[in-house]
Amino acid sequence: MGCCSKTVLVLFTVVLVVVAILCHIIALVTHYWLNSSSDVQTNFLNLGLWRACFDDYIHPHESDRGPKVYDGCHGLYSDYYRTIRDWLIPSWLVACRICAIISLILQLIGLLLVIFILLWILCKWIMCDPEEEGCGRVILYATPIIWILAGMFLMITCMIFADNAFRLQCKDFWLGGDPNTNHLSYSWGFEVAACVISFLSGIFLIWVVVLKGRSEI
C-alpha cells in the first residue's frame, strides 16, 4: 500500500471517529427519540433521554390529588415532573441512558487514542523511524477494541429504546392512547448512525493494526 493510500486510510478513520461522536452527542442533547404523529391529536409530543414534551397532558394517577396539566418541554428529573417521575422514567429508559453515557466515555477515550496513533504514525513517517515500542503496540491494539465496545453499547441503547418505546407500559406512562400513533424520530436515528459509524471506525482501526503488523505503516 502506497504512502498516499495509507494517509487516506488513517485520515478517513479519524473522520469516521469524529462523525460517530458528533452523531452520538446530537442524539444525547436532542429530545426526539420518540415523536407523536402529526396526523393524530395527542397529548404526548416527543421524548428524549433527558426531556419529555406534552400538550395539556393530565396524568390519570394524579386524579386524587387534583388534576395537573403538563404542557411544554421539561427535564425528566425536573421538579415539574416530580409527582409522575416514577411513571415517566421506567427502568429501561435509565438503562438506555447508562449505556449511552458509557458509550460516550468510550468514544472520547477512543478519540484520544486515535489522535495519539495518528500523531505517532505521522511522526514515524516524517522521522523514518521503524522502531516499535511496547506502549505504542498496546495503544494500537486497544483502540479498535474500545471503538467496537462503544458500538456495542450504542447498539444496546438503540435496541432497548426501540423495543420498549411501544410497549403497553409506555402507553400507560406517556401516551394515554394508541402507541401506533408514535414513531421513532431523528434523535434515535442519530444514535443508530453513531452505532454504525463506531463499528466502522473499529473495523478501519483493525485494518490499521493489520498494516502495522505487516510493517506497511
Establish if 143 belongs to a structural domain: yes
Establish if 182 belongs to a structural domain: yes
Beta strands of 117-197 (E only): which ranges?
A: 182-184
For residue 178, what pLDDT is reported? 56
Establish if 42 belongs to a structural domain: no
Which CATH number is 124's domain given? 1.20.140.150
Note down pLDDT in tens along the chain; length 217 residues. 555 566 677 788 889 999 999 999 999 999 999 888 776 667 888 889 999 988 888 777 665 566 688 888 999 988 888 888 888 888 889 999 999 999 999 999 999 988 888 777 766 666 555 555 655 677 788 899 999 999 999 999 999 998 887 665 555 555 555 556 678 899 999 999 999 999 999 999 998 888 766 665 5
Establish if 45 belongs to a structural domain: no
Beta strands of 76-169 (E only): which ranges?
A: none
- Residue range of the domain that includes 196: 3-35+85-213
For residue 11, what pLDDT is reported? 83
Q: What is the pTM of this model?
A: 0.82
Instruction: Label residue 56 left, alpha or beta by phi (over 0 means left) and psi (-120 to 50 means alpha).
Output: left
Establish if 72 belongs to a structural domain: no
C-alpha cell at 24: 452520538
Residue given cell 454504525 in the structure block: 196
Please tell me the total count of domains within the chain. 1
